[in-house]
């Protein structure tokens, strides 16, 4: 029987959550026995090749491309997990939500202390996705089935959750794995 597939992506995140996935250490070998990775930065597959059992989302949505990727994850995955605080509530990128968008662009491309931009143009290549007026947590854009909190969530938490989902067991994480103070 074909192994179930897992897909992952990093939207407006720092890749820290993906580092935490890798942090499961040698268990990654076990994971590879359990699943195949589909679209994911881990194997650099860019397009979905088929239906996936689980999708892991790092980061919230700060631009139009994030939204498109997230929607395609929703289409292709049976179960979607918001992985980490950025996905769950916007996290650090959402700090800009109180600042007008124009000021954000100006700071990034014109006025920032390290900016060198003699032409005073804000980059405008169609390849560059437009920013959303604010950063959205994933569950405000599509339905999310599970939230794994933490910045990043500990590797053990990710591991336990994945194994439970892939072996059709209830995701009942012990207190130590979901306690953050």
Partner 1 sequence: MSDNLPAVVHEICQAHGGDRTRLMDIVRAMQQKFGCVSGPAMELLAKELSIHRVEIESLVSFYSFLSTRPKGQVVIRLCNDVIDQMAGADEVARAFEEELGIKFGQTTPDGKISLEYTACIGMCDQVPAALVNDVVVTELSTDAARRIVRELRKHGDPTRLVTRHGDGCNGHELVRAMVMNNIRQRGSIIFTPTNRGEAIRKALAITPAEVIRAVKTARLRGRGGAGFPTGMKWEFTRAAGGEQRCVLCNADEGEPGTFKDRVLLTEMPDRVFAGMTIAGYAIGADEGILYLRGEYAYLRAYLEQILAKRRQDNLLGNNILGKRAFKFDLRIQMGAGAYICGEETALISSCEGLRGDPKNRPPFPAQKGYLGRPTVVNNVETLCCVTKILEEGPATFAEFGSQGSTGTKLLSISGDCRSRGVFEVPFGIKLSEVLKLAGGEDAIAVQVGGASGQMVAREEFNRTICYDDLATGGSLMVFGPERNVLEVADKFMAFFVEESCGYCTPCRVGNVLLKDRLERITAGCGEPADLEYLQELGTTVKTMSRCGLGQTSANPILTTLKNFRATYNALVKKRGDGRQPAFDLAAAVAEAETIIGRKSTHAHA
Q: What is the contact surface with partner 1 in residues (CB under 8 A)? A: 64-65, 67-68, 71, 74-75, 80, 101-102, 105, 122, 124, 126, 129-134, 136, 139-143
d(C-alpha 60, C-alpha 82), whole Å: 9
In angstroms, give the least distance from the CB of 22 to partner 1.
28
Phi, psi of 115 (to 5 degrees): -80, 130
d(C-alpha 48, C-alpha 28), whole Å: 21
Task: Region of 113 please: left (phi>0), alpha (psi -120 to 50) or beta.
Answer: alpha
Determine contact, residues 141/61, Cβ cutoff 8 Å.
yes
- Of 55 and 152, nearer to partner 1 (C-beta) is 55
Phi, psi of 91 (to 5 degrees): 60, -150
- Of 27 and 134, nearer to partner 1 (C-beta) is 134
In angstroms, give the least distance from the CB of 31 to partner 1.
25
- Of 4 and 13, nearer to ligand SF4 (C-beta) is 13
Take residue 153 and report the two structure tokens written for it: 């969530």
Size of the site for ligand SF4 (CB under 6 A): 13
- Of 42 and 142, nearer to partner 1 (C-beta) is 142
Site for ligand SF4 in 135-174 (CB under 6 A): 151-152
Take residue 95 and report the two structure tokens written for it: 């700090």
Q: Does 85 bind ligand SF4 (CB under 6 A)?
A: yes
The residue within the footprint of ligand SF4, chosen from 16, 55, 90, 137 (CB under 6 A), is 16
In angstroms, give the least distance from the CB of 23 to ligand SF4.
11
CB-based burial, 160-169: b 16+ in 10 Å, e otherwise = bbbbebbeee
In angstroms, give the least distance from the CB of 71 to partner 1.
7
The residue within the footprint of ligand SF4, chosen from 6, 9, 13, 160 (CB under 6 A), is 13
Half-sphere exposure of residue 165: CA atoms within 13 angstroms, side-chain side: 23
Query: Residues interacting with ligand SF4, by CB under 6 A?
Result: 13-14, 16-17, 58-59, 84-86, 91-92, 151-152
């Amino acid at each position: 029987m074909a192994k179930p597939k897992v897909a992952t992506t990093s939207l407006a995140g720092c890749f820290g959550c993906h580092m935490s996935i890798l942090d499961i250490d040698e268990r990654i070998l076990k994971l590879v026995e359990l699943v195949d990775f589909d679209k994911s930065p881990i194997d650099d597959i860019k397009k979905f090749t088929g239906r996936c059992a689980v999708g892991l989302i790092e980061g919230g949505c700060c631009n139009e491309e994030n939204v498109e990727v997230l929607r395609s994850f929703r289409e292709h995955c049976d179960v979607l997990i918001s992985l980490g605080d950025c996905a769950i509530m916007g996290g650090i990128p959402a700090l800009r939500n109180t600042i007008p968008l124009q000021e954000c662009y100006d700071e990034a491309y014109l006025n920032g202390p390290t900016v060198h931009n003699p032409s005073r143009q804000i980059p405008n290549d169609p390849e560059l996705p437009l920013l959303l007026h604010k950063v959205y947590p994933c569950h405000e854009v599509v339905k999310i089935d599970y939230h794994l909190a933490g910045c990043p969530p500990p590797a053990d938490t990710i591991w336990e959750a994945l194994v439970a989902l892939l072996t059709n067991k209830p995701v009942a994480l012990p207190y130590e794995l979901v306690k953050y103070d």
